């Protein structure tokens, strides 16, 4: 879908005529609309009334003035609502009454840019320690780290009011059930969870800020270290965006190799997750088998790239290595092995009585809930939401080698297991087709040292769901701004929502079902309630009434 077709939508005509201060089409699939802050809620209501797109991310920018960018996506089209703000007393209205998932992005604006978001129930810290000094905003250009003085202590938000009769069960930040540091607090009435809060900022490293002081090439290696398990997909999103800004297209063979490594990384990620989830279910035998099998794909990746985790396969303009006939044979042998193992695992998760007790009809999330909470990846597809960037907006070589969409409708933990395992079957089929038709040609093309001024949005499908990069260049040899919206950031809200009403014993499996990556997340958020129709609704009320409200809109 190109920008001209995007503007033909009735909803966007209604949007543009009354409120747009200006309209631009910076790229074929993008439309930017400049709005005043006071018109934002009305414009977004128009989008929701027409069921156009979903809020994928909110980006803050600092330049001569502040600016807030609201990115809405539908298939390959991206509509960005741009709200310019003064640097003194910048204010925007909250969207959480319309889009509950917006609250996590709005907290980031308040904390990192000092932008006041009105009518939001969540005003606590997201990234930073609670003793962070006031009026110091790390992502503003004038930020001076020397003014920050504190002991770094971070107090987790409490999900219950003082004096309440509810009992609080804390989990983390160091806990045997957590593979990375995080802190959860669940309020329980007996064994039933009545509320919850999560703090995820313990792994924060300030990578977004660090990219602004490194060259385009140096940032490639920095962004690869956002997540070890998703290292390739982060660099793929980055290089595709930078190449688009530079007007450069990598050769077809390089694009195919990028897809090859991305799908092998999906095997690595899903098998690692499957083992961890099996462990949380008390099925340690399945954990051992899965991680034993994971060694096969790690050996393949090491043989291809020289590394088992941070593959460092991408370059700006192409890839570092070629694929030899011997390596193709090794990959095909590995796929033959996985075909049998995945079939076995599918049989286990759909027939083992003990496993089904922990997954079937547990954590059920409807398609409307998944849409409302902004879920992406296998979590959304397990609830019947067809949201896969590889299919909706093909990138690299996915237009030449498409992948079959995997959709389930039951929306429970069992469905999330089935979708991920069936995705590996679909990946295996696609990889065989790719390897049989690997394009000939060069591996790299020439890239300029300085990238011409401009902005772009790069979207890819990470193993956990849609990964979005906003990249801005001012013409120098360093980026002006890189915004990274990882899938865990938007998926985590569903855990706190689905936790209410379940037994405390289900919490480890609900958390594992999201496949969280706290290192990718680099963020913290308290999810206790959302604003709807002018008042604050609890998650329990939202589950009962809010879904009907959203569907009726």
Least confident of 119-128, 139-148, 515-524: 515-524
121 — pLDDT class (breaks 50, 70, 90): confident
Residue reference for tokens 């009435």: 189
pLDDT at residue 501 tops 60: yes
The mean of the pLDDT values for the chain is: 85
d(CA 480, CA 477): 9
d(CA 378, CA 351): 21
pLDDT at 47: 86
Q: What's the CA angle centered on 218, arms 214 and 222, to 5 degrees?
A: 95
Stretch 523-527: mean pLDDT: 36
pLDDT at 429: 97
Q: Name the 3-class secondary structure at 72.
A: strand
Q: What count of other Cβ atoms lies within 10 Å of the Cβ of residue 306?
A: 12
pLDDT at 215: 95
Q: What kind and span of H or E run contains 290?
A: helix 284-305
d(CA 253, CA 244): 18
Q: What count of other Cβ atoms lies within 10 Å of the Cβ of residue 386?
A: 12
pLDDT at residue 273 tops 90: yes
Q: Name the 3-class secondary structure at 149.
A: coil
pLDDT at 395: 96
For the chain, what percentages of helix, strand and coil (3-state, to nearest 5) are there?
45, 20, 35
d(CA 499, CA 197): 10
pLDDT at residue 537 tops 50: no
pLDDT at 201: 67
Task: State percent of the chain over pLDDT 90.
Answer: 54
Superfamily of domain 3-154: NADH:ubiquinone oxidoreductase Nqo5 subunit (3.30.460.80)
DSSP letters for 122-133 = --S-SSS-TTPP
Stretch 31-36: mean pLDDT: 91
Residues sharing a CB contact under 8 Å with residue 295, sequence separation 6 or more, in sequence order = none
Question: 492 with 516: CB under 8 angstroms?
Answer: yes
Q: Name the 3-class secondary structure at 349.
A: helix
Least confident of 182-191, 409-418, 434-443: 182-191
pLDDT tens by residue, 56-108: 999 999 988 999 999 999 889 899 999 999 999 999 999 988 888 888 889 88
pLDDT at residue 238 tops 70: yes
pLDDT at residue 122 tops 80: no
pLDDT at 46: 85
Stretch 390-394: mean pLDDT: 95
Residue 49 burial by Cβ neighbours in a 10 Å radius (0-12, 13-18, 19+): exposed
Domain boundaries, the chain: 3-154, 179-202+489-553, 207-485
d(CA 415, CA 434): 28
What's the CATH fold of domain 207-485?
A: Cytochrome-c3 Hydrogenase; chain B (1.10.645)
The residue among 496 and 470 whose pLDDT is bigger is: 470
Among 492, 535, 476, which Cα is nearest to 212's?
A: 476
Among 152, 151, 113, which Cα is nearest to 135's?
A: 113
């Amino acid at each position: 879908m190109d920008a001209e077709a995007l503007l033909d939508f009735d909803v966007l005509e209604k949007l543009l005529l009354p409120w747009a201060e200006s309209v631009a089409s910076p790229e074929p699939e993008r439309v930017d609309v400049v709005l005043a802050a006071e018109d934002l809620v009305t414009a977004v209501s128009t989008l929701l009334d027409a069921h156009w797109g979903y809020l994928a991310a909110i980006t803050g920018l600092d330049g001569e003035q502040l600016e807030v960018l609201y990115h809405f996506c539908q298939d390959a089209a991206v509509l960005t609502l741009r709200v310019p703000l003064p640097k003194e007393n910048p204010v925007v209205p909250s969207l959480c009454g319309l889009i509950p998932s917006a609250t996590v992005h709005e907290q980031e604006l308040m904390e990192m840019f000092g932008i006041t978001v009105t009518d939001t129930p969540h005003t606590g810290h997201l990234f930073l320690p609670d003793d962070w000094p006031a009026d110091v905003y790390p992502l503003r250009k004038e930020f001076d780290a020397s003014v920050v003085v504190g002991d770094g202590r971070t107090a987790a938000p409490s999900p219950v009011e003082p004096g309440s009769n509810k009992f609080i069960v804390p989990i983390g930040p160091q806990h045997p059930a957590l593979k990375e540091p995080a802190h959860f607090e669940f309020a329980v009435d007996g064994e039933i969870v009545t509320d919850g809060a999560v703090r995820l900022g313990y792994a924060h490293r300030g990578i977004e800020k660090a990219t602004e002081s490194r060259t385009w090439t140096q940032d490639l290696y920095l962004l690869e270290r956002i997540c070890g398990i998703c290292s390739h997909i982060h660099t793929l999103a980055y290089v595709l965006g930078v190449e688009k800004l530079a007007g450069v297209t990598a050769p077809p063979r390089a694009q195919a190799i990028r897809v090859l490594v991305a799908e092998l990384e999906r095997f690595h990620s899903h098998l690692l997750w499957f083992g961890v989830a099996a462990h949380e279910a008390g099925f340690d035998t399945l954990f051992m088998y899965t991680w034993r099998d994971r060694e096969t794909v790690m050996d393949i990746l090491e043989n291809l790239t020289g590394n088992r985790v941070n593959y460092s396969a991408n370059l700006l303009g192409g890839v570092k290595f070629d694929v030899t006939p011997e390596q193709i044979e090794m990959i095909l042998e590995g796929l033959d092995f996985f075909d049998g193992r995945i079939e076995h695992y599918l049989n286990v998760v759909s027939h083992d009585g003990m496993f089904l007790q922990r997954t079937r009809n547990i954590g059920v999330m409807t398609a409307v809930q998944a849409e409302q909470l902004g879920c992406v990846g296998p979590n959304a597809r397990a609830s019947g939401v067809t949201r896969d960037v590889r299919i909706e907006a093909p990138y690299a070589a996915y237009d030449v080698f498409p992948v079959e969409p995997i959709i389930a409708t039951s929306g429970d933990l069992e469905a999330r297991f089935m979708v991920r395992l069936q995705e590996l079957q679909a990946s295996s089929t696609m990889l065989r087709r790719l390897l049989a038709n690997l394009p000939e040609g060069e591996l790299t093309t020439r890239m300029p040292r300085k990238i011409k001024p401009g902005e772009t949005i790069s979207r890819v499908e990470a193993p956990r769901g849609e990964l979005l990069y906003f990249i801005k260049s001012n013409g120098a040899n360093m980026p002006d701004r890189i915004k990274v919206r990882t899938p865990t950031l938007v998926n985590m809200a569903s855990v706190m929502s689905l936790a209410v009403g379940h037994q405390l014993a289900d919490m480890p499996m609900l958390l594992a079902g999201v496949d969280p990556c706290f290192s990718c997340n680099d963020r913290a958020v308290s999810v206790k309630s959302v604003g709807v129709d002018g008042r604050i609704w609890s998650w329990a009320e939202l589950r009962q009434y809010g879904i009907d409200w959203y569907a009726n809109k």
